Amino acid sequence: MRALLFPRLVWKEYRVLRGYWLSLLVVGLLIEFFMAQFARDPQLALFSLPWVVAAFFALGAGATLFAIEREEQTIEFLRGLPASPSRLFVGKLTLALGGTLLLGVALSAAALPVVGPEQLRNLAANNTGWILGAPLLLQVVAWGMFFSLLLARPLVAALLATLATFVSCSVVAYVATASDTMPGWRTGWEGVPHALMTVAVFLLDFVLSRRWLFGSARRFRAIRIARATDMRCLWWQESRQSGVVVGAVLALGLLLMVSNWASAGPHSAGTVPIATLIFALFGSCVFLADQGGGQFRYFTERGIDPRRLWLARQLFWAAPAAALMLVYLLAHVALLAMVVRNGGAYDNIESRKLLFFNYEWFGLHLGDPYRHYHQTWHVGWFRQLPGYVLWTALAYGAGQLCSMFFRSGLLAAVFGVIAAALLVAWAALMEFVELSWLFTVAPLAIALFVGTWLRAPDWLIERRDWRARVRGVLVLAVPLATVLIGTLLYRVYEAPAPEIEIAPRAQNASAFAAADARRTADLYARASDLLVKMPSEGPFAELRGETSTTLTESQIAWLDKNEEPLALVLEAAARPDCTFFGTSYRLENGRSARFLELGHLVVLSARQLEDDGQLAAAWTRFQAAFSMARHFHQQPGLFGEIYGNALERMALERLFFWGAHEDQTPDRIRAAIEYIGKLAPLRSMTDEIKEGYGELAVRLFNEGESWSQFDEPPIVSRQLARWMPWELVRSKRTLALLAKLDIDDVQAAESALVGEGKPAEAWYYEDPYARLKVEHLTRTSLFFGVERTNESFQGFSRSVIDSRRSAVAYRRAVRLALAAEAWRLEHDELPDSLARLEGNGLGPLPVDPFTNQAFSYFPFGFRKPISSNELKRLPLRMPLLYSPAMPRGDYLMERIGSLRRESDDAPPASDVSNHELERVQGLVFPIPERF
Amino acid sequence: MESAIRLTHVSKRFGSQVALNDVSLDVPLGVVFALLGENGAGKTTAIKTMLGLAAPDVGRAEVLGLDSQRDGLEIRRRVGYVSERPMLYEWMTVAEIGWFTAGFYGDGYLPRYEGLVQQYGLSGGKKLKALSKGMRAKVALALALAHEPQVLILDEPTSGLDTLVRREFLESMVDLASAGRTVFLSSHQIGEVERVADIVAIMHHGRLVLVERLDALKEQIRELTVTLADGAAAPPAVRGEILRRRQRARQWQVLVRYLADEHLETLRGEPAIAELEARTPSLEEIFVAYLNDGRQEASPVPAQEVAAP
C-alpha cells in the first residue's frame, strides 16, 4: 500500500500542474510556429526557446508546489497522510523536474523539423551555455520551492524566486569573474558556483519542507509576509477580474518580442517600440476594471482609502510588468552575449545605446566630475537594470495616468501608448544628448505616479471642480516644466563660456582687399583657368616624395602644354600682395586644388631647368614658388596653413637635390641658405585659428555669409536646432570653448617655436578628461550634427601646429642640409656632426621644432633602404637628417637609432637582399649624393 | 438631543441648475428619517453632500459630528450607505462579496454579514449577476449593515423590491432605529415610508418645504370636505394654513394645517355650509398637496385665518 503512495503523490501534483504545463506547451508551440514561419534565422532561437519555456514552467511549478497547499487549505489533509516529509518533498520535486525536462524535450522535438537533427546536435554539442544553463534551470526550481515553502501565494513566490535567481546570477557573475561583461556566457564556468548554490538551496528546501509539514502553523504564519487584510482582498479581487487581461498582455509582450528578435536579431530597432507598447498597455490597465461601469463607486460608497486602493492596483499591475521587464532584460543580454560569443559584432549602435544605458549616466559615480563623459558600452545585467527600470516606469507610468483619466479602456490604452511614446522619445533625446536620466527622466516617471496618487481621492469621489482640475494639472505641469527648463538651462550652461572672439572671414578680408592684391589673384585665376590638368596617373602620381632627379617624358609634355599659365603664375608670383577676397573667386576645394597644381607647375619647371644645368635659373623658379606660397599664406583662415605650407614644402623638398647637383657652388648654396632664412615669417597661428573658427561659425550658424555657398548637405539636427535658441547659445559657447583650447594650444606651440618652453602635445593628449568633455559637448551640440563630430571635437590646433612645425622643420632642415652640401663641396666629405656647421652661414644651429633639440644626423645613412610618408624610397647609405615629428617621439628615435650606419665601411643589414623597405615614421630629410 | 446628521444652510448648484437651496436639516440619533421628494428634487445631492461626495457651494454638512468635506472618507467608513443603484461586483458570489468587503472592516463583519444573508434568505453560492433586483438590494443592504453603522443612509432603497420584501425591509428599519441607530432614507414610495418614518421631510426644487415628526404632522393636518347650502356661492372661510383646495360643483375639499378644533365646530355651525366632513389625510396626500400647491417652502408659522379668494 505504501508503495502506491509515491506515484499517487506525483499524480496529485501532476493534476495540480497539468493545466499550467499544457498552457506553456501550447504557447511554446505557437511561438515556435511563428518563428518557423517568420524568423529570418530561426535555428538558434528555436534551439533556445524550449528551454526558456521550460524555465518558466520550472519557476511556476517550484513556486506552486507548497504554497498552493496552504492557499487551498489542503495542508491539513497532507498532514493526515501516512507520508514522510522526504517522500512528499521528493514527489513534488520529481514532478517539477520531470515536467521541466519533458516540456523542454517536447518543444525541442517539435522544433526538430525546422532546425534539423544535425544542426540541433551541433548546437547542443557546441553550446557551452549548457554548463551554465542546466544548473540555472535547477536553481529556478530550488528558489521557487524555497519561497513556496515560506509563503501561501504562488504568484508572490514565483516573483520572489525570479528576483532571487536574478540576484544570484548577477552576484555569481561579479564574484566569480570580477567582471561585468558576462564572460560566463563565453566560457560556461560560472555554472560551477551556480551548481553549488543550487545544491545549497535544495538542501535548505528539504529542511524547510519537514518543518512545513510538521511544524506548527503559527510558526509559519509568523514568517509569512505581513499583509493588511484589505490589501489581500484587493489583490484577490483584481486577480479575479483582471487575471485574463494580465495573461493576455504578458503573452502579447512575449510573442511580439520573440518574433521581433527572431526575425531581426537582438539589435532590432523594434525592441524599444514593442516594449514601450507593452508596458504602456500594462499601465493603461491599472484602473481599467474600476473604471468599467463606474465600479470604483463600490469603494467610494464604503469609504475605502483611495490611496490604499491605488497602491493595491499598482502593486498588482506593476508586478507582472516588472517580471516581464526582467525577462526582456535577461533574454536580451543573453541573446547579445550569444551573438558576441558566436563571433558577431554589435551593430546599430544607437539602439544599443538606448537599450543598454550605463549606470554612469545616472550619475551614480557622484564623486567623479566627469561621470557624464564616460562612454563604455558594456553588456551586463547590473549596468542595464537602472535603464530598464526607468524606461519601464516611464511607459507604465504614462499608461496608468491615462487609465485614471479616461473611463474608456480603449481611450486609456491609445492615449497611454501615445504618451508613453512621447516620453520614451524624450528619454531617447536625453540619451542622445548624453544627459543623465536620473535628472531628466526619473522626475517625470515619479511625477506620473505621484500624479495618480494625488488624484486618487478626487477620482474616487468624481470631483471635477476647478480645484481638483488645477491640482491634477499642477502635479504634472510643475515637474514637467521644471525638468524642461532645468534641462534647457543645463544644456546652455554645461558648456563654459570663455571670453574669446572668433573672427569671421569677412572681417579680416578688408586688410587684403587692395586693388593691387586683387589683380594678383586675377592672374592666378586666369592661370588656373588656362591650366591643362595634371594627369592623375603615371609618374605624376608619384611626383611628391620622389627621389628621381630626371623628369619623365610625360612631365616634360605637361610642362610644354602649360607655358602660358606658367608665365601668368610667374608674373603673379613676382607681385608683392595677393587676396582672393573681394574678388569673384571663391576658394572652394576645386579652385584651391588647381592653385596648388600651379605650384606643382612652377616647381616642375625649376626641376627642368635644374636638369638642364641652369641652376641659377632654377633657383629663381624656386623663389617664385616661395613667393607664391607667401601669397597663399596671406589669405585669412587656414588656407595658407594648408596650401601655402604644402607648396613651400614642395619647393623645399627639391632643394635637397638642387643643392647636390654636380655643378652646384658653395656661394649659390649659401645664398639659398640666407634666402630661406629670410623667408617671410609664417602667420600667427592664433589668428589663423580665430579665422578658422570664424569660418566654422559662419558655416554652422549661418551668420555673416550665406550658408548656401558652402554646398553642404542639410543636417537634420541643425535644421531642427535653428528653432531652438538655447541650442544656438550652447553651440556658440561650445565653439568658443574649442577655439579657446585650440588658441591656448597654438600659443604654447608658438612660444616653443621661438625657443621659449618645451614643445607640448596637443591639449587633448595632455588631458584625456578634457577631451572626453569636449567630445561630449560637440557630439551633443545639435548645430554640430553627428556628421561633424569627428571633425570638430579635436579642433584645428592639432593640424595647424603639426603643419606649422613641419613647415618650420623643413625650412630649418633644408638650410642644414644645404650647409652640409656646402661643407662637402669644400671638404669633400660631410661633416661628422652638425655642430661643425654652426656659424657657417647658418647663424645659430637650427633645432628640430618638434623637440627643440638638434636634428638627428645620419652622415652614413641607414643600414637598410627606407621609405617614409614623404619619401617613396631612400636609397641605402644615403645621408640624412631626421625628426620624429612629435614632441615625445623617444620610441621613434630609439627605433631609428637601430638602423644607423656607423661608418662608411659598415655592411648593410643582412636582410637587405629581400628588397623590402623599412618604413619609418617621422620626417626624413635626405642629403643626396652629388649627381 | 445629539444630531446624527446636520445640514446648515447648504446650497449647491450645477451650472445654472440649483440642486440644493439653503437647506438646513437636523436629524437626531435613533430615528427613521424619510426625505421625500419628486425626481430631481435634490435628495441624492443632499445625501452626497452629507457623505462628502459633493462639496456644497455654501453651508456645512456634518454626520456624526464630522465635517463632510474634511472627513468625508471617515464618514463613509462609519455610516452604512446604499445608493440608488448599488455598485456590486457581478462576477462575485454572495459569499465572496461579503468576504471581500470584510477586508475593509474590523473583525465580526463576516459573521454578521452571513447572518444577514441568512436572514434575507439569500444563497451564499449564487453569483450576483444571477440575482433578481430585489435580492441584489438585500445584498447591498447586508453589506451596508454588517459593520453595524450608527447611521444608515439609504437612497431609494426599496425601488425594485416586491411588496413583501419591501414591507419586511422597512420594518427592519424600525428595529434598527429602536436599537439606537439612525436611518436616513430618501424615497418617493410615500405609502411605505409612512409606516416606518419618525420624521419626514419634503424636498421640492432643492428646497425643504416640510420637516416634521410624522405623528405631529398627522395631528396638524386635516382634510375638510365642505358641501355648501343652496344659494351659497362663496367658499368656506377656513382658518389655518391651506395646503390645497378643490371645488366640485357645490362641494369644496380643503387640506388645512393648524386647524383648531373650535374653529372646526364653528364651521359646522355656519348656515352657508350644508355638510362638513373632516378626516386625517394620508402622507401621500400631504406630499402631493405640498408639491402641487405651488408653495415653495414650509410655513412654520402659527395658524392663521386664511380667507379663500
**Looking at residue B199, what is its pLDDT?**
93
Around Cβ A44, how many Cβ atoms within 10 Å?
Answer: 19
Q: B101 touching A, CB under 8 A? A: yes
How many CB pairs below 8 Å do chains A and B form together? 63
**Looking at residue B308, what is its pLDDT?**
34
pLDDT digits (tens, 9 = 90+) for A533-588: 877 655 554 444 455 567 888 888 899 999 999 999 999 999 988 887 644 444 55
3-state secondary structure of A856: strand
Chain A: residues touching B (Cβ < 8 Å) = 229-234, 236-237, 240-241, 293-295, 297-298, 300-306, 457, 461-463, 465
Q: Going by C-beta distance under 8 Å and a sequence separation of 6 or more, which residues neighbour residue A236?
A: B100
> In terms of C-beta distances under 8 Å and separation of at least 24 residues, what long-range contacts does B173-180 make, across chains too?
B173/B32, B174/B32, B176/B32, B176/B145, B176/B152, B177/B30, B177/B31, B177/B32, B178/B30, B180/B29, B180/B30
Return the bridge partners of A139, or none: none
Q: What is the largest CA-CA distance in chain B?
A: 76
Q: Which three cell numbers stand for residue B203?
A: 424636498
Cα nearest neighbour of B140 on chain A? A298
How large is the average pLDDT for residues A82-89?
A: 72
Q: B137 touching A, CB under 8 A? A: no
DSSP collapsed to 3 states, chain B: CCEEEEEEEEEEEECCEEEEEEEEEEEECCCEEEEEECCCCCHHHHHHHHHCCCCCCEEEEEECCEECCCCHHHHHHHCEEECCCCCCCCCCEHHHHHHHHHCCCCCCHHHHHHHHHHHCCCCCCCEHHHCCHHHHHHHHHHHHHCCCCCEEEEECCCCCCCHHHHHHHHHHHHHHHHCCCEEEEEECCHHHHHHHCCEEEEEECCEEEEEEEHHHHHHHEEEEEEEECCCCCCCCCEECEEEEEEEECCEEEEEEECCCHHHHHHHHCCCCEEEEEEECCCHHHHHHHHHHCCCCCCCCCCCCEECCC
- How far away is chain B from the Cα of A452, in angstroms, using its nearest Cα? 18
Q: Is B91–A241 a contact, with Cβ atoms under 8 angstroms apart?
A: yes
Report phi then psi at A207, rounded to 5: -60, -45
Cα nearest neighbour of A464 on chain B? B54
Q: Is B73–A305 a contact, with Cβ atoms under 8 angstroms apart?
A: yes
Q: Is B76–A305 a contact, with Cβ atoms under 8 angstroms apart?
A: no
Q: B103 touching A, CB under 8 A? A: yes
CA dihedral A142, A146, A151, A152 (to 10 degrees): 50
Taking Cα atoms as reference points, which of A230, A457, A292 lies closest to residue B101?
A: A230
Residue corresponding to grid cell 637609432: A897
Q: B189 touching A, CB under 8 A? A: no
Q: Is B76–A300 a contact, with Cβ atoms under 8 angstroms apart?
A: yes
pLDDT at A184 over 80: no
**Looking at residue A602, what is its pLDDT?**
94
Q: Is A301–B76 a contact, with Cβ atoms under 8 angstroms apart?
A: yes
**Looking at residue A715, what is its pLDDT?**
63
Q: Going by C-beta distance under 8 Å and a sequence separation of 6 or more, which residues neighbour residue A703?
A: A504, A697
Percent of chain A with pLDDT over 70: 76
Distance of alpha carbon A42 from alpha carbon A25, whole angstroms: 19
Check residue A922 and give left, alpha or beta (phi > 0: left; psi -120 to 50: alpha). Answer: left
How large is the average pLDDT for residues A482-509?
A: 78
Please state which of the ranges A109-118, A269-278, A859-868, B259-268 shows the lowest mean pLDDT.
A109-118
Q: Predicted confidence band at A716 (pLDDT cuts at 50, 70, 90)?
A: low
Please tell me the total number of residues recorded for chain A in this structure. Answer: 931
Distance of alpha carbon A311 from alpha carbon A443, whole angstroms: 19
How large is the average pLDDT for residues A354-369?
A: 46
> Among A229, A293, A303, whose Cβ lies nearest the Cβ of B77?
A303
Q: Which amino acid is at A318?
A: A
Distance of alpha carbon B203 from alpha carbon B78, whole angstroms: 26
Give the sign of the dihedral formed by CA B142, CA B144, CA B147, CA B153: negative
Distance of alpha carbon A392 from alpha carbon A398, whole angstroms: 10
pLDDT digits (tens, 9 = 90+) for A595-645: 888 998 999 999 899 888 899 999 999 999 999 999 988 887 777 888 899
Chain A residues closer than 8 Å to B53 by CB: 300, 461-462
Q: Which three cell numbers stand for residue A760?
A: 607640448
- More confident call, B228 vs A128: B228
Mean pLDDT of chain A: 78
Q: Which amino acid is at A755?
A: G
How large is the average pLDDT for residues A657-679?
A: 90
3-state secondary structure of A757: coil
Q: Is B73–A297 a contact, with Cβ atoms under 8 angstroms apart?
A: no
Please state which of the ranges A233-237, A488-492, A778-782, B180-184 shows the lowest mean pLDDT.
A778-782
Give the sign of the dihedral formed by CA A743, CA A746, CA A748, CA A754: negative
Q: Which three cell numbers stand for residue A520?
A: 594678383
How large is the average pLDDT for residues A192-216?
A: 78
- How far away is chain B from the Cα of A151, in angstroms, using its nearest Cα? 20
Distance of alpha carbon B181 from alpha carbon A393, whole angstroms: 48
Chain B residues closer than 8 Å to A293 by CB: 87
Distance of alpha carbon A312 from alpha carbon A1, whole angstroms: 48
> Ranked by mean pLDDT, which of A362-366, A387-391, A454-458, A696-700 comes out on top?
A454-458
Please state which of the ranges A604-608, B8-12, B64-68, B294-298 shows the lowest mean pLDDT.
B294-298
CA angle A857, A863, A868 (to 5 degrees): 65
**Looking at residue A383, what is its pLDDT?**
63
Chain B residues closer than 8 Å to A232 by CB: 103
> Among B76, B79, B89, whose Cβ lies nearest the Cβ of A295?
B89
Q: Which three cell numbers stand for residue A176?
A: 566569480
- Give A137-180 as a DSSP string: HHHHHHHHHHHHHH-S-HHHHHHHHHHHHHHHHHHHHHHHHS-S
- How far away is chain A from the Cα of B250, in angstroms, using its nearest Cα? 55
Q: B249 touching A, CB under 8 A? A: no
Q: Is B81–A301 a contact, with Cβ atoms under 8 angstroms apart?
A: yes
**Looking at residue A551, what is its pLDDT?**
81
Taking Cα atoms as reference points, which of B144, B163, B303 lies closest to residue B238?
A: B303
Q: Is B77–A297 a contact, with Cβ atoms under 8 angstroms apart?
A: no
Q: B13 touching A, CB under 8 A? A: no
Report phi then psi at B2, rounded to 5: -70, 145
Distance of alpha carbon A182 from alpha carbon A356, whole angstroms: 14
Q: Which three cell numbers stand for residue A767?
A: 588631458
> Among A304, A461, A465, whose Cβ lies nearest the Cβ of B72?
A461
Percent of chain A with pLDDT over 90: 18
How large is the average pLDDT for residues A263-283?
A: 86
Mutate to test the interface with B, among A302, A308, A462, A471 (most CBs of B within 10 A): A302
Please state which of the ranges A99-108, A240-249, A509-518 shows the lowest mean pLDDT.
A509-518
3-state secondary structure of A282: helix
Cβ proximity of B96 and B127 under 8 Å? no
From residue A406, alpha-carbon distances to A414, A418, B161 in Å are: 10, 14, 35
pLDDT digits (tens, 9 = 90+) for A16-29: 778 788 888 888 88
Q: Predicted confidence band at A452 (pLDDT cuts at 50, 70, 90)?
A: very high
**Looking at residue A37, what is its pLDDT?**
67
Taking Cα atoms as reference points, which of A299, A357, A351, A324 lies closest to residue A158?
A: A324
> Among B74, B86, B103, whose Cβ lies nearest the Cβ of A233?
B103
- How far away is chain B from the Cα of A475, in angstroms, using its nearest Cα? 21
Around Cβ A653, how many Cβ atoms within 10 Å?
Answer: 20
Please tell me the total number of residues recorded for chain B in this structure. Answer: 309
Please state which of the ranges A23-37, A196-210, A378-392, A466-480 shows the lowest mean pLDDT.
A378-392
Around Cβ A491, how many Cβ atoms within 10 Å?
Answer: 21
Cα nearest neighbour of A460 on chain B? B53
Q: Is B53–A462 a contact, with Cβ atoms under 8 angstroms apart?
A: yes
Around Cβ A364, how many Cβ atoms within 10 Å?
Answer: 13
Strands A866-867 and A918-919: parallel
Mean pLDDT of chain B: 83
**Looking at residue B79, what is its pLDDT?**
92
- How far away is chain A from the Cα of B100, in angstroms, using its nearest Cα? 5
Please state which of the ranges A468-482, A527-541, B27-41, B110-124 shows the lowest mean pLDDT.
A527-541
Q: Report the complex ipTM.
A: 0.73
The pTM score is: 0.63
Cα nearest neighbour of B15 on chain A? A465
